[in-house]
Amino acid sequence: MAHGALCFLCPGLWISGEEIAAQMGVSRAAVWKQVRALRASGYRIESSPRRGYRLLEADRLDPERIRSGLQTKFLGRELHYFREVESTNDVSRSLAESCPDGTVVLAEVQTRGRGRLARSWASPPGGIWMSVVLKPALPLSRAYRANMAVSLAVAKALSRLYQLRAAIKWPNDILIGGRKISGILMEVRAELDRLDYVIAGVGLNVNIDPSRFPAEWNATSISDQLGHDVSRTELVQEILREIEEAYLKLGSEEIFEEWRSLSATTGRYVRISSLEGDFEGEAVSLGEDGSLCIKTENGLQRVLAGDCLHLRGREEA
């Protein structure tokens, strides 16, 4: 309900408060209240006493435009677009059993976006909040390969389109200049023998002012890095192209080598918190199984997944 007025706001076009009020059957004061709520959620809405309201969305995500310019064979050919969902991963899960390999769920806003381990994930307007359903012919124990492929794809898309030097923070964040721009959330359903499906959720700060996030998140965005907004439509297309490219060689040595070469973590002094224990030391190498090897006071330690804090040390990321 809070976002009801959004339906009447068309990017770039003025519409009077009177007209919105009439169409929604509410008072003009109620329309104004909704506009304030939308602004608080991150929508950029211009207002003028004479002309009314205008939504400033440089590049509203248009599923038709995304599809028409898509350079993939199958990835994203089935694309579900929402203005607002609770979580694109949850929507994907409801589709995953019967949808084709490579189905994409994309939303302008997530109201209950999730990060790893059920942590909340801020997903305001201006970002890319997208999940891809993959059905690779892999045994369960190779599921981490999908995480490698998608992390790699996001990092490569940022480099290729904007010449941003994106690095992969183990296990599943993308950093630019040591600040977080993207996170990947991978969920799987499987038997021992075979993955039923993988859902790779991608959260990416695109045209977002990172000062709206708490400073301790150490977040950045593409607009923050470049000083101007970019076309999210083009970026979605490029990410999907890169995901498909990586997906088609999922089992290859090449994926691992590329993923490893983009690591922001190896060579850093890190603190790891995981189900396998807490460790501190130098991150010395990455394993073909996606694991991180840490040189601790008590010797080498391999960790398969967990929280990783890059500690300040010999080198700034």
* Contact set with its own copies (CB under 8 A): 116-117, 137-144, 147, 171-172, 185-194, 274-276, 289-290, 304-306
Q: How far is the CB of 172 from its own copies (least distance, A)?
A: 7
To its own copies, the closest distance from the beta carbon of 189 in angstroms equals: 5
Calpha distance 172→188 (Å, rounded): 15
Shortest approach of its own copies to residue 283 CB, angstroms?
Answer: 17
| C-beta of 201 vs 281, nearer to its own copies | 201
Specify the 3-state DSSP secondary structure of 219: strand
Pair type for strands 173-176 and 195-204: unpaired
Least distance CB 197 / its own copies (angstroms) = 10
Nearer to its own copies, 21 or 243 (CB): 243
**Least distance (Å) between residue 114 CB and its own copies:** 10
Cis peptide before 210 (omega within 30 of 0): no
Cβ proximity to its own copies, 225 vs 291, nearer residue? 291
Residue 30 vs 250, nearer CB to its own copies: 250
Q: Smaller CB distance to its own copies: residue 42 or 287?
A: 287
Could you give the strand order of the β-sheet that contains 128-134, starting from the edge strand earlier in sequence?
79-85, 103-110, 128-134, 195-204
Token pair in block for residue 102: 């490579």
Q: Which is nearer to its own copies, 157 or 184 (CB)?
A: 184
Residue 26 CA from chain centroid, whole number: 36
Quick one: which of 99, 105, 94 has its CA closest to 135? Answer: 99
Angle between the N-to-C axes of helices 253-261 and 144-162, in degrees from 0 to 180, rounded to the nearest 10: 60
Contact 223, 42 (CB under 8 A): no
> Is 88 within 8 Å of 201 (Cβ atoms)?
yes
Q: Please choose, from the candidates 24, 12, 8, 157, the residue with its C-alpha nearest in 3D space to the C-alpha of residue 83.
A: 8
CB of 93 to its own copies, least distance (A): 9
Supply the minimum distance, in Å, between the C-beta of residue 73 and its own copies: 21
Q: CA triplet 176, 180, 182: central angle to 5 degrees?
A: 95
Our CB check for its own copies shows the closer of 34 and 182 to be: 182
Tokens found for residue 90: 């949850």
